[in-house]
């Protein structure tokens, strides 16, 4: 009952609930690494003001998104420039052909969790 990582019974149960874990007022312009329930995640605010909580590693080459660049829509990986929205969907894969880019957008997804910011 003490293991809470992904795929464990307790971990899967706890992932069904909301967990307060960060003061949004303390989040700056750079992404922040957060460890929750045994998972390393990256919290960021894109240039549109939306909060994103995504898996730390880019699915392309496993580069850390803590070094990613927050854009108007989502976060861009610093390694090859793949851009992901706050829900984990792939928005852009520079250097790929248009045909491959469309197929990638249907297949590639970054793990993400919904976030809510409560103003006081």
Q: Which of 111, 108, 103 is nearest to 37 (CA)?
A: 111
Tell me what the mean pLDDT of segment 11-40 comes to.
Answer: 92
Q: Range of 32's domain?
A: 22-113
pLDDT-based confidence at residue 33 (cuts at 50, 70, 90): very high
Residue 61 lies in a domain: yes
Question: Are 89 and 105 spatial neighbours (Cβ–Cβ below 8 Å)?
Answer: yes
Give CA–CA dist 80/106, Å, rounded: 19
Residue 80 lies in a domain: yes
Question: Are 70 and 45 spatial neighbours (Cβ–Cβ below 8 Å)?
Answer: yes
Question: Are 115 and 54 spatial neighbours (Cβ–Cβ below 8 Å)?
Answer: no
Mean pLDDT of the residues in the chain: 92
pLDDT at 1: 55
Residue 33 lies in a domain: yes
pLDDT at 24: 84
| CATH assignment of the domain containing 89 | 2.102.10.10
Residue 1 lies in a domain: no
**pLDDT tens readout for residues 34-81:** 999 999 999 999 999 999 999 999 999 999 999 999 999 999 999 999
> How many structural domains compose the chain?
1
């Amino acid at each position: 009952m003490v293991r809470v990582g992904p795929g464990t019974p307790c971990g899967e149960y706890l992932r069904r609930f909301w967990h307060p874990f960060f003061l949004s007022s303390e989040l700056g312009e750079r992404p922040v690494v957060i460890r929750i329930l045994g998972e390393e995640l990256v919290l960021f605010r894109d240039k549109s003001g939306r909060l994103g909580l995504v898996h730390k590693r880019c699915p392309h080459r496993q580069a850390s998104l803590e070094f990613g660049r927050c854009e108007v829509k989502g976060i861009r990986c610093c390694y090859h420039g793949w851009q992901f929205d706050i829900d984990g969907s792939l928005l852009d894969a520079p250097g790929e052909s248009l045909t491959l880019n469309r197929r990638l957008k249907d297949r590639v997804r970054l793990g993400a969790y919904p976030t809510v910011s409560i103003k006081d």
